[in-house]
Amino acid sequence: MKVQFSPLALPTQGTVIFLMAQDAPLSTLAQKLDDQTQGALSRAMRVEQFTGKKNTLVNLVAPAHTELDRVILLGVESQAETDVQQSADTLVSYVETFNLTDIHAIAETDSQAAHFAYGLQLSHYRFDKYRTRAELQAKCVLETLTVATDDPKAAQALYLPLEAVAEGVKVTRDLIWEPANVVYPESFAQFCICLKEHGLEVEVVNSYQMGELGMTSLLGVGQGSKHESLMVILKYTGTQDSDEPIAFLGKGVTFDSGGLSLKPNASMNTMKEDMGGAATVTGLMVALAKRKANVNAIGVLGLVENMPSDKAQRPSDVVTSMSGQTIEVMNTDAEGRLVLCDLMTYTQRTFKPKAMFDLATLTGAVLVALGEEIAGIFSNNDELVEKITAAGEAEQEYVWRLPLGGQFDRLLRSEIADMRNDGNKPRIGGSSVAGQFLSRFIENDTPWVHIDIAGTAWTKEGQPNKPKGATGYGVRLLDRLIKEQFEAKEK
């Protein structure tokens, strides 16, 4: 969708949309059109009892005394950024019904103009790549949005970094939607190599190199697959002020069959999304590069496929992680933590980050506990928890801190190794057990947050600015965190 901003003026044809706050009077241009149509707008508002509340609209078709096709009064409720963004959901639900391809919106402020355009970019998304039959494809797609506002240049300046984030969200969604026969470790790595055009440095570390580094915990997960396990490093340098980057680690299990601890079919059908953490980190790095964020950031992706075969890892196998700690693999379906622990050690020893965040579709238990709209977080740093919680509130990508220590540490006791990879009491504290496992790989008190996105990476019904399917959760959250807490204010 092409987005452009124009000076305040009424269009003479097509579809015009007025963005209206709750209980606010008609704007100057809306009042002008109301007079021109002999009160059609105000009468329609009275009949529909329209007040400008979010998730409501009034649709006037071919209003008299104009050449316009439609006039839509769209409720945005308030000038709050998220309210304006989410008002786009209401409009998107009518795109096909109203046959909207090119629309002209009238905004009250430059900020409202930018955030409405951003909301439309987030909401107007469908993954139709593999739909070849015409009846299955979208019947209508928004092609052009023109937003009229007081200062188009100011609105454009506000919009451009938001557009970069929207592009990052789209990258994440596209990667998660792709089937596992299209996105597997080698093809994911190749996609990342193409991101050099956005200003990212990309390094691919192969299985032999990881073996030399001692990353046998990660390598054990993928040894049953025909696809080579890979580690991809995405580096963005936005400032020369500090050599210490912020690090983001992503679990990239491109398909998780469970390995020899085979999942039931119903659980396996959605396991192409088990690389959601790596997809989110990739989208975030694209967003930072495209908006030229004033920060240094590292993305580290562990790309593996967890498959059963005669070469696959067995329950009760013992592996030695890069940290030197040994792990008894009691459940080959608790594989994400085996990938992440080696990424954590590699990242800390190689890049010495000032803070480290890992993202993973790690446990079904977090979905049971927190649902599809809140991610579980685990951390060794109270200040980071406060910061990421505030960012989540601002973006409405919520997080909730879950506990570590105590009984969860005891549940990792192994009879033969330093630890086991699942709890020794089935179905007890699954998310916290996984978080506790990862916490054992923190070195030198590196500030760390683990984000379990197993519930939030995918939505079955759709959420505000998140159409059904892959949500892109985490890109907006972490971009906000970086912008407010880590990014230098002066370039």
Answer for the pair 445, 351: CB distance below 8 angstroms, yes or no: no
Answer for the pair 122, 283: CB distance below 8 angstroms, yes or no: no
151 annotated ligand-binding residue: no
Q: State pLDDT tens for residues 46-58.
A: 999 999 999 999 9
Amino acid code (one letter) for 316: S
DSSP state of 273: G
DSSP notation for 160-209: HHHHHHHHHHHHHHHHHHS-TTTSSHHHHHHHHHGGGGGT-EEEEE-HHH
Q: What are phi and psi of 466, to 5 degrees?
A: -135, 95
Run of H or E including 157: helix 152-177
Tell me what the pLDDT averaged over the chain comes to.
96
256 annotated ligand-binding residue: yes
Question: How far is 234 from 249, CA to CA, in rounded Å?
Answer: 10
The pLDDT value recorded for residue 490 is: 55
HSE, side-chain direction, 13 A CA sphere, residue 276: 29
Confidence of residue 491 (pLDDT cuts 50, 70, 90): very low
Question: How far is 377 from 389, CA to CA, in rounded Å?
Answer: 9
Question: How far is 359 from 343, CA to CA, in rounded Å?
Answer: 11
Answer for the pair 449, 344: CB distance below 8 angstroms, yes or no: no
Confidence of residue 241 (pLDDT cuts 50, 70, 90): confident
395 annotated ligand-binding residue: no
Domains of the chain: 2-150 (3.40.220.10), 165-486 (3.40.630.10)
Question: How far is 304 from 231, CA to CA, in rounded Å?
Answer: 9
Answer for the pair 217, 250: CB distance below 8 angstroms, yes or no: no
Q: State pLDDT tens for residues 250-304.
A: 999 999 999 999 999 989 999 999 999 999 999 999 999 999 999 999 999 999 9
Q: State pLDDT tens for residues 357-374.
A: 999 999 999 999 999 999
Q: Which two tokens stand for residue 440?
A: 């054992």
69 annotated ligand-binding residue: no
Name, in order, each residue with C-beta under 8 angstroms of 81's C-beta and a sequence gap of 6 or more.
111, 115
Question: What angle (nearest 5°) sits at the alpha carbon of residue 274, between those of residues 271 and 277?
Answer: 165
Q: State pLDDT tens for residues 142-192.
A: 999 999 999 999 999 999 999 999 999 999 999 999 999 999 999 999 999
Which percentage of the chain shows pLDDT scores above 90? 95
251 annotated ligand-binding residue: yes
Instruction: Kindly list the catalytic residues.
Output: 263, 337
Name, in order, each residue with C-beta under 8 angstroms of 238's C-beta and a sequence gap of 6 or more.
288, 292, 293, 294, 295, 296, 297, 487
Confidence of residue 138 (pLDDT cuts 50, 70, 90): confident
Can you tell me whether residue 140 is helix, strand or coil? Answer: coil
